[in-house]
Amino acid sequence: MRILYLTCHFFPDFDAGSFRNTSLVKTLLDHLDDNDCVDVMTTFPHRYGINNNIKSDFENKKNINIYRTRVPSHKNKYIRQISAFIYYCCFVLKKVNNSDYDLVFASSSKLMTAFLGSCIARKIRKPLYLDIRDIFYENISIVLHKNVFFMMPFIKIVEKITFNYADHINLISEGFIPYFEKFKCKSYSYFTHGIDDDFLNLKPSRCNGTNGNYKIIYAGNIGEGQGLEKIIPPAAELLGNDYTFLIIGDGGTKEKLLQEVKKRNLQNVKIKDPVDRNELKSFYDEADFLFVHLNNFTAFKKVLPSKIFELVAYDKPIIAGVTGFSYQFIEKHVPNVILFESCDVNDMIKKIKQCRYKNEYRTQFIEKFKRKNINNQMVRSMVEIASGINLS
């Protein structure tokens, strides 16, 4: 069996897509026979111009071949992302030219990686398995509709070509189900984000909310999807100096956030560049509250943020501003959480003030959503599709 694995997000990058794909490929290793092979086509880190120690564009790990290409850094700017993808697309097409595979797998949040996978699968007439982490059409229509409205019909056509051809689509959020009902894909699954081994068996918290100054930490992308500039500056202003926000990350709206902090002359908001996972865990250890937030766009009523699966591994209370499916999911599965509707700063402040601070391990959630367990199920479905087994 030979599998082509397409993703722009892979180690040593440290975003949610990278964590998902890197761990899934490692799980594939455990399910392959000696004669099986997986070709991973990916990139060097490029979102924030991060330096890394990987110099080679090829790496072999048993029967996993990892091919990397350098693309322009885009810092989550959409025009630059288009340029970066063109580089990636040309690289992949050149590498796979005249190659044959039993399965084409594409992990995609921006649609075009999925479209590239569908083009290759059509050419070699082999099954296509898509892992869809976002609904690109809805996101771009809300975030950039004024600038790209002329592209929306084209994106719809690309969606139809891509999703109708797929043999199997995994939707990372069950909130996506209504959107995908119109497509003719043969079968679906709903393998969510998961908790990585790095976040299992963590030590009890050193912080217990009694030190007089509460530290709230957010780590991740600072973009339109998070809307941090809408919630953190007014919340920090209302909470006062008894609460300090530490924001770790980078992204397309970081400058907006900095401007809001400066405009309000806030001394209790600190913003730090991205750090690797080991350093991030040390920051989490020092926090009293862990923070996650989505913008109040209609499209985000369907998503499920990967960040929540990282934060639940700690025994600290989580402050979560979400809506729609995410709100329902967290309300049902996650204890010890301050849950409020996206961008509703007054509701956030009210619930923080009412919160009785406690540390609590979320043992049941952790057992159910371990990344290893989810990956094993997903890999089995990949092997079944590659082998021609009908999942439906």
Model confidence over 26-78: pLDDT tens digits?
A: 999 999 898 999 999 999 886 655 556 677 899 998 899 999 999 887 555 66
pLDDT of residue 248: 97
Reduced DSSP (H G I as helix, E B as strand, rest coil) percent helix, strand, coil of the chain, to 5: 45, 20, 35
The C-alpha atoms of residue 303 and residue 309 are separated, in whole angstroms, by 13
Cis ω before 12 (30° cut-off from 0)? yes
Q: Which residue has the higher pLDDT, 388 or 334?
A: 334
Least confident of 43-47, 230-234, 343-347: 43-47
Residues with Cβ within 8 Å of 79's Cβ and at least 6 positions away in sequence, in order, are none
Mean pLDDT of the chain: 91
SS3 195: strand
CA distance 310 to 307: 5
pLDDT at 315: 95
Identity of the amino acid at 70: R
Question: CA 11 → CA 42, 67, 201, 237, 277, distances in Å?
Answer: 9, 12, 23, 38, 12
Tokens 């961008």 found at? 343
Amino acid 363: pLDDT: 94
Distance CA 264, CA 322 (A): 25
Using DSSP's 3-state secondary structure scheme, residue 171 falls into strand
Q: pLDDT (tens digit, 9 = 90+) per residue, 247-299?
A: 999 988 999 999 999 999 999 999 999 998 889 999 999 999 999 999 999 88
- At residue 199, φ and ψ (nearest 5 deg) are -110, 15
Domains of the chain by range and CATH? 2-194+370-386 (3.40.50.2000), 197-368 (3.40.50.2000)
HSE (side-chain half, CA atoms, 13 Å) at 114: 28
Strands in the chain per DSSP E: 2-6, 37-43, 58-61, 64-69, 103-108, 128-132, 168-171, 187-189, 214-221, 243-250, 269-272, 289-293, 318-322, 337-341
Q: What are phi and psi of 343, to 5 degrees?
A: 65, 5
103-156 residue pLDDT tens: 999 999 889 999 999 999 999 999 999 999 999 888 877 765 556 677 788 999
Q: What's the pLDDT score for residue 23?
A: 95
Q: Is the dihedral of CA 373, 375, 378, 380 positive or negative?
A: negative
Residues facing 195 on adjacent strands: 370
- When pLDDT is cut at 50, 70 and 90, the band that residue 15 belongs to is confident
Q: DSSP per residue over 322-373, as a string?
A: E-HHHHHHHHHH--SEEEEETT-HHHHHHHHHH--------HHHHHHTBHHH
Quick: pLDDT tens for 381-392.
Answer: 999 999 886 655
Residue of 188, 193, 187, 222 lying closest to 21 (CA atoms):
193
Query: What's the confidence (pLDDT) of residue 52?
Result: 60
Q: pLDDT tier at 180 (50, 70, 90 boundaries)? A: very high
Question: Which residue type, as a one-letter code, is found at position 344?
Answer: D
Q: Lowest-pLDDT range, 212-216, 269-273, 301-305? A: 212-216
Looking at the chain, the whole-number percentage of residues with pLDDT higher than 70 is 92
Q: Is the pLDDT of residue 173 over 60?
A: yes
State the pLDDT at residue 53: 65
Distance, first Cα to last Cα, the chain: 22
Q: Reply yes or no on whether the pLDDT at 302 is more than 70.
A: yes
